[in-house]
Amino acid sequence: MAWTLTGNIKGPTGATGAAGATGPTGAAGLNAFNVTSGAFTVPAVGSTVTVTLNDASWVVVGQDVYVAGAGGVGQAGWLQCTAKTGNQITLLNPTPPPAIPNASNTTAGLMAQTSGLTTDYVGGDNACHDLPTAVTPTITAVRLRSFSAIGNGTFEVDARNAGSSLAVTPSAMGWGCDRWWNWCAGTLRYSTQQTQLGVVVPGTSFWITCKYLRFTLTTAQASLGGTDLMALGQNVEGAVLRGLYNDLHSIAVLCRSSVANLKFGITLQDPTTTRSLSKLASLGAANTWSLLTFANLPAFPPAGSFSVQPGTVGYTFYICLAAGSTYTAAANDTWQTVGGTITGANGQANFASSAVNSTFDLAFIQHCPGSNTDLIDKPFSQNLLECQRYFYTNYDSGIKPGTAGQSGNVGTFSAISTNLANWNGSDSFKQKMAKVPTMTVYNYSTGAINSVAASSSGTFAVSAAYASQDCFSGFTTSTSGVAGQQAWPMYTADTGW
C-alpha cells in the first residue's frame, strides 16, 4: 500500500482553537509537505522507512508525524521520526497500544502514540476518539506506572566503597559505587569516586541528588587499540526489564565534563552479546551540567537473548568514554546484530586522549517505558533497598567493608559440638537477594578478610561461608573452635550485580 506524508505536528491545538482538540484531523494545524523520494510503503510494526521531503525543517527527532493513507477507511495514523539528516527522515512504525473500544480493524502500529496523549486516535471505524477519555483509561488499566529500570540512578548508595576513590586498571576494575562497575583496557588509567554535591536539574531549582560519580583520567592514551576501553556498566535484572520490554522506551542522563563538547556512548546489550543499541550523546560547554534525553527508542528485539525472569541478567546498560573498534557500534539508533560486546557509539570521542586529570561526572540516569523523560526521583531509602537486592553488608552506612572496629549489626554464630570447625547462626538480609550471594567475612576487630573474631580472644581463619537468598547461615574455619564458643562475623553478600 502506498502512502503520503503530511506535516501535522502532534502537540498544542493550532489556529482553529478548541475545535482542533476534539474534532477529526483536518485542516487545523495541517501543512502538507511533498515526499520527493516518491510514494512509500508503511513498514511492518517495529521497522522503519526512510523518505525525503521537500522541506523537513519542521520535523524534530522523536516527534510523531501523521500519515494520510491512500487506501481507504481506517488506514491513517502516526509514525515516529527516529532520525533526520537534512530533508531525509527515518520513520518508525511503532508497537500499537491496547485495543480501544469502537476502534476495530485499525492497521497495526499506526496510531496516536501514548507519548503525548494530546491527539485524536483515528480508528478503524473512521471515527475520532479523544485520547484523554478513550486511551488514558485503557493504558492505565494495563500499563500501571512509569518507573526507572536503572538501579542507584542518583549514585547516592555506596555501601561497597563508602565514598572512597577507586583506581581503575585492567587488573583492578572494581565498582564505582553500588550497581555500577568499571571497565578498563589498554594503557589508559582512571579513577572513580562518589562525590558529595547537590545537583540541580538544569532550568529548574529541583535538587535531584546530593551525590555524583566522578571519573578522573589519571593516565592519558592518545589513540586507542581495537580492544581498548573505558566504560561504566550496570546489569539490569530480567524482572526489571519486563516493564520496558515489547514497547518503546526512553533514557535520560544528567552529566557534565571538564572537556568541552565531549561526545560519549550509551549502549544497551543482551546478556549473550548478540544484539545492541547505541546512542551518541553530546555535551556542550565544559563543567556545565546537561540533561540529555533520548525518547522513543526502538523496542527490544525478540531475537536477542534478553531475559525477563527474576534472578537473571535482563540486559546491560553502558556509559562509554573510550572504545576501540572491537567495542564500537557499526551504527547508532537501531538495534544491531553483533558477535561480541559493544559499549561505544559510532562517532564518539576518545576521552582518554584528554589532559590528565580531566573529569566526567554522572549525577542521574534513568531508563523508562514509553516516551517518558521526566525525571523520576527515588528517595534514598528506596535506592538503598533496591541496591540491597544485589549487594548487602552488615557494616553501618558510611563504613567501608574491611574497616577495623565494631561498626554494624554483628550476628552471633556458634561452633557446632559435633564438628567444631563449623559455625552455625542466622543473620537475615534486609530483603530476598536476586540470587544466592557470594559471602565474604571480615574480622570485626582487625578488619582482616576471611577472618572472624570469637569469644575467649579467639581468631579463626574462615575457609568457606554459606548463605541462602534470605540470610547468612554459617561458615567453616580452618581450625576448630571449642564447645560453646561464639563468633561475630562482619560480612558482605554479593550477587555480582
What pLDDT, in 10s, does the model give residues 117-139? 333 322 333 333 333 343 444 44
pTM score, two decimals? 0.72
288 has a pLDDT exceeding 80:
yes
User: Could you tell me which CATH number the domain at 166-387 has?
Assistant: 2.60.120.260
pLDDT band at 172 (very low <50, low <70, confident <90, very high): very high
pLDDT band at 86 (very low <50, low <70, confident <90, very high): confident
Which residues, at least 6 apart from 345, have a Cβ–Cβ distance to it below 8 Å? 263, 264, 265, 266, 267, 278, 279, 280, 281, 320, 328, 329, 332
Domain ranges in the chain are 2-143, 166-387, 392-494
114 has a pLDDT exceeding 50:
no
74 has a pLDDT exceeding 80:
no
Residue 240 backbone class (left: φ over 0; alpha: ψ -120 to 50; beta: rest) = alpha
Higher pLDDT, 24 or 443: 443
pLDDT band at 21 (very low <50, low <70, confident <90, very high): low
Which of 9-13, 265-269, 370-374, 416-420 has maximum average pLDDT?
265-269
**Which pLDDT value is given to residue 191?**
98
What pLDDT, in 10s, does the model give residues 377-406? 889 999 999 999 999 999 999 999 999 987
Higher pLDDT, 465 or 144: 465
Higher pLDDT, 100 or 247: 247
Q: What is the mean pLDDT of residues 205-228?
A: 97
113 has a pLDDT exceeding 50:
no
Compute the distance between CA of residue 255 and CA of residue 232 in angstroms, rounded to an integer: 13
**Which pLDDT value is given to residue 385?**
96
pLDDT band at 77 (very low <50, low <70, confident <90, very high): low
Buried b (16+ CB within 10 A) or exposed e, 454-478: beeebebebeebebebebbbbbebe
**Helix, coil or strand: residue 420:** strand
pLDDT band at 484 (very low <50, low <70, confident <90, very high): confident
